[in-house]
Chain A
Amino acid sequence: MPEAPPDDLPALRVENVDVTYGRAVSALRSVSLTVPHGAVVALLGANGAGKTTLLRAVSGTLRLHRGAITAGRVRYGGTVLDGRDPVAAVRAGVVQVPEGRRVFAGLSVDENLRSGGLGLGRRGRAQVQEARERVFALFPRLAERTHQAAGLLSGGEQQMLAIGRALMAAPRLLLLDEPSLGLAPQMVYRIAEVIREINAQGTAVLLVEQNAGMALSLADRAYVLEVGETRLSGPADELARTDAVRRLYLGESAEDQGAA
């Protein structure tokens, strides 16, 4: 896993991005972030800090929430992503797993996986079988339940399906929004293992988490957002030792960490 990749390998670069909802509510102010090729980057922060907004800015779904990037750039490799639709991100190799899993409950496991390849169009159909085998190797449980409705899976299985669905597009960068949310500790551990495995296969990960302990143990670098601005950033192991992060890790609210 390269720490500082050469420039020709694609990296996600978010540069001085402002995001506004409904032309009035400012959600991000001049936020910058880089996810190098093949790296795991954690994005931490309290509720309302703007973590999900930042993911939306990358994946192109702000418009569905009446939001827009009002300044700055989002690029992945040579592709400009700001102002584009989600299809552009998927085609560039950037795929988001939404918060709360959001599997298509009425569709079968198999159809959910098929839907993950929809963004690639005709070009992607050849690689669907290959991607499916990769997903089943990661999540053997899904292979046993291909015809079951996704809504009938357990919470952990749904999270696996949500990640597997995103992998069907063979992303080079996976955006994960709170994958541990609402899962039992054992399942959180399992998800962390899976993230490590996916990364080892060459996919970069931008991980949004409230479970800072898990996120920092996986990540190479981390950023801490606070009410729409970058508060801290640095190598994950260094950040894990700072007071502010330790307090965040203990679950105190954002207002209490102003002293850092």
Chain B
Amino acid sequence: MTGFLDNVLGGLALGAVYALVALGFVVIFKASGVLNFAHGSLLLFGGYLIAVLHDDLGFAGALALAILTTAALAGALDRFLLQRGGQDAHAAHVQTIVTIGVDIVLFTDLARRVGGDLLSLGDPWGDSVTELGPVTVADSRLAAIVVSAVVIAAVFALFRFTSWGLSLRAAAEDLEAAALMGVRLGRVRAGAWCLAGALAALAAVFLAAFPAPGLERGTGQIALNAFPAAILGGLASPAGALAGSLIIGLTEALVVGYQSDLHVLGEGFGDVAPYAVMLLVLLVRPTGLFGAKGAARV
């Protein structure tokens, strides 16, 4: 039973971090129709900045600077590279492919810098743990859950209550009608990319924190497990991204936790499980959990 609770808490923590990444995918897709394949590299970029800056600036300073820089990089990438291709659906496909190129460039350079090292991000939790009744949880996991919950709630409030959020939702519904209302599509888009970049840098902290050994060059690839989470949630739905991330996080943690009982599936099924769950969900609901919009009357 203790083992089960351990796994559930671990899964929730993992899901919370995936949600930060998946929300980035969804915000970018909603605002620009682009699937950002460079997201993992942006995350690695943010993590790397924290790793090299935290000795001088302290963890909080390094984190703040990394979040700002990654947000600026993502926003600039959209504004000065992708937006040159235009705003229509056809352009979005081309821009998606451009992000693959950006990913290769960014990842190659970061991989060269990180090499085979394991970088510490200097986070304040270290390997300390907290006893919660019968279970022992790493503080970094509790922090992941709490911080993600607060940040995600803030992002949802941003969608709902700010002009930017309304502009984003309007533009996602109908680009031209939003333009006619005077929504500055370019700025709204770039803002979405900035937000996604900031979320990715924040997620890097928790992906590199205990019990993970530290930031490695593969950390960005781990984050790509958030990709099936975003898809099974419906890709254009922030709530779907949240639900999908928790499902994927729990699945992965439980599959890894009970690996010995699941050996018929072979070793390392935990890496495959997110995609298996995504396929199962898509078989039943091809548009994802929150993907189908029923509210249309013609």
Which residues of A are at the interface with B, using a C-beta cutoff of 8 A? 59-61, 64, 66, 85-87, 89-91, 95-98, 102-107, 111, 114-116, 118-120, 149, 151-154, 165-166, 169
Q: Mark B181-200, 1 if CB is under 8 A from A, else 0.
A: 11110000000000000000
Q: Are A115 and B179 in contact (CB under 8 A)?
A: no
Q: How far is the CA of A107 from the CA of B183 in the complex (A)?
A: 15
Q: Are B176 and A64 in contact (CB under 8 A)?
A: yes
Q: What are 27 inter-chain pairs, A to B, with CB distance below 8 A?
A: A64-B175, A86-B179, A86-B180, A86-B182, A97-B180, A98-B180, A105-B173, A105-B295, A106-B169, A107-B166, A107-B170, A111-B166, A111-B170, A114-B166, A115-B167, A115-B181, A118-B166, A118-B181, A119-B181, A119-B182, A151-B295, A152-B295, A153-B297, A165-B181, A166-B180, A166-B181, A169-B181
Within the complex, the shortest CB–CB distance from B94 to chain A, in Å, comes to 14
Q: Mark B100-128, 1 if CB is under 8 A from A, else 0.
A: 00000000000000000000000000000
Q: How far is the CA of A119 from the CA of B179 in the complex (A)?
A: 9
Q: How far is the CA of A8 from the CA of B297 in the complex (A)?
A: 45
Q: How far is the CA of A98 from the CA of B180 in the complex (A)?
A: 8
Chain B residues near A165 (CB-CB < 8 A): 181
Q: Are B87 and A64 in contact (CB under 8 A)?
A: yes
| Residue B296 interfacial (CB < 8 Å) | yes
Q: Are A61 and B179 in contact (CB under 8 A)?
A: yes
Chain B residues near A85 (CB-CB < 8 A): 179, 184
Q: Are B183 and A118 in contact (CB under 8 A)?
A: yes
| Residue B88 interfacial (CB < 8 Å) | yes
Within the complex, the shortest CB–CB distance from B175 to chain A, in Å, comes to 7
Q: How far is the CA of A170 from the CA of B177 in the complex (A)?
A: 17
| Residue B178 interfacial (CB < 8 Å) | yes
Chain A residues near B166 (CB-CB < 8 A): 107, 111, 114-115, 118
Chain A residues near B176 (CB-CB < 8 A): 61, 64, 98, 102
Q: Are B177 and A98 in contact (CB under 8 A)?
A: yes
Q: How far is the CA of A95 from the CA of B177 in the complex (A)?
A: 11
Q: Mark B75-95, 1 if CB is under 8 A from A, else 0.
A: 000000000001110000000
Within the complex, the shortest CB–CB distance from A157 to chain B, in Å, comes to 10
The contact of A64 among B169, B173, B179, B182, by CB within 8 Å, is B179
| Residue B130 interfacial (CB < 8 Å) | no
Within the complex, the shortest CB–CB distance from B33 to chain A, in Å, comes to 13
Chain B residues near A107 (CB-CB < 8 A): 166, 169-170, 173
Q: Are A149 and B180 in contact (CB under 8 A)?
A: no
Chain B residues near A86 (CB-CB < 8 A): 179-180, 182
Chain B residues near A111 (CB-CB < 8 A): 166, 169-170
Chain B residues near A61 (CB-CB < 8 A): 176, 179-180
Within the complex, the shortest CB–CB distance from B146 to chain A, in Å, comes to 31
Within the complex, the shortest CB–CB distance from A166 to chain B, in Å, comes to 8
Instruction: Tell me the residues in window 242-290 of chain B with beta carbons closer than 8 Å to chain A beta carbons.
Output: none
Chain B residues near A119 (CB-CB < 8 A): 181-183
